Structure 1
Amino acid sequence: MPGIRPPSLTTMRAVLDVIMLALQLYVWVLIVSAVMSWLIAFNVVNVRNDVVRSIWNFLYQVTEPLLRPIRNILPNLGGIDISPIILLLIIFFIQRVIQLYLYPAVI
């Protein structure tokens, strides 16, 4: 039957969809983390507040494992941290590879 796909392809499509969703969520976490770091740096939000501190600790623990290796590779740019931008570009590249090369292979 031409309309029925093998279960392995359907499963692979579902896995790719979950990976794409996770990458998109991580992009938003990176953006929120960057904005919150600016707000903390300019004393707009107070880190002594328990809610703010818990949100900041969560964001730091989620983003730092991927940002630290990038920071170790990049040269010292003074007070400018471009590691989130580099990580966003890597995530966008991975998403495009999935969309252009992996999705067509499982459809």
Structure 2
Amino acid sequence: MTSLYQILMLILSVAKFLILAHFIMSWLISFQVLNIRQPLVAQIWYGLSRLLEPLYAPIRRILPPMGGIDLSPLVVLIGIYALEIILRNNVAVFL
């Protein structure tokens, strides 16, 4: 059962990394450091967007419009950190 706990923590860590990469990439595209017309950049950007959209979409429906600021990645990250805390505090269930 310890391996189940470790797998869940690994999945949450990968999700955090992907969200942070998507967030940083969005800023780099906004400030024109990265060009979306480059094939590699476009492929990574659209891949991350398709992968993370199922996490963001329900939160975007709940959050009010913020004038162009998307807070859904922040809410998802807070949710992931909360899940990690819950899993760490209940690790005895997995043993």
Report the TM-score, using the length of structure 1 for normalisation. Answer: 0.85
* Residue type at the aligned position of 1:35: I
Return the letter of the residue paired with 1:16. Y
For structure 2, which runs of at least 5 residues remain unmatched after alignment? none
Which of 33, 51, 65 pairs up with 1:44?
A: 33
Residue of structure 1 in register with 2:80 after alignment: 91
In the alignment, structure 1 segments of 5+ residues that lack a partner are 1-11
Aligned to 1:21: 10
- Residue identity (%): 36
Counterparts of 1:43 and 1:35 in 2: how far apart (Å)?
A: 12
The 1-side partners of 2:13 and 2:41 are apart by 23
The TM-score, its normalising length taken from structure 2, stands at: 0.95
Counterpart mapping for 1:1-107 below 5 A: 12-101=1-90, 103-107=91-95
- Matched length: 95
**Distance in 2 of aligned mates of 1:106 and 1:70:** 30
Q: Which structure has the larger Rg over C-alpha atoms?
A: 1
Could you tell me how far 1:81 is from its partner in structure 2? 0.9
State the alpha-carbon separation in 1 of the partners of residues 42 and 93 from structure 2.
Answer: 45
Deviations 1:17-39 (A, max 9, x none): 10110100110100010010111
The answer for the alignment partner of 1:5 in structure 2 is: none
- Secondary structure of the corresponding residue to residue 85 of structure 2: helix
Q: Please report how far the alpha carbon of residue 105 of structure 1 lies from its aligned counterpart in structure 2 after TM superposition.
A: 2.3
User: How big is the alpha-carbon RMSD for the aligned residues of Structure 1 and Structure 2?
Assistant: 0.9
SS across alignment from 2:70: coil
